[in-house]
Amino acid sequence: MSKSSGAPLDKLTLAEVCEELRISRSTFYDWRAKGRAPRCIKLPNGDLRIRRIDLDNWLDDLEDAA
State how many domains the chain has. 1
Residue 4 lies in a domain: no
User: Inter-axis angle of helices 14-21 and 25-33, to 10 degrees?
Assistant: 100
**DSSP H stretches of helix in 12-51:** 14-21, 25-33
Residue 22 lies in a domain: yes
pLDDT at 66 over 80: no
Residue 24 lies in a domain: yes
Residue 1 lies in a domain: no
As a whole number of angstroms, the distance between CA 49 and CA 65 comes to 25
pLDDT reported for residue 6: 47
- What is the mean predicted confidence (pLDDT) over 36-43? 97
CATH number, domain of 17, equals: 1.10.1660.10
pTM (predicted TM-score)? 0.81
Parent domain of 51: 11-65
Read off the pLDDT of residues 4-38 as tens digits, 9 standing for 90 and up. 444 557 999 999 999 999 999 999 999 999 999 99
Residue 30 lies in a domain: yes
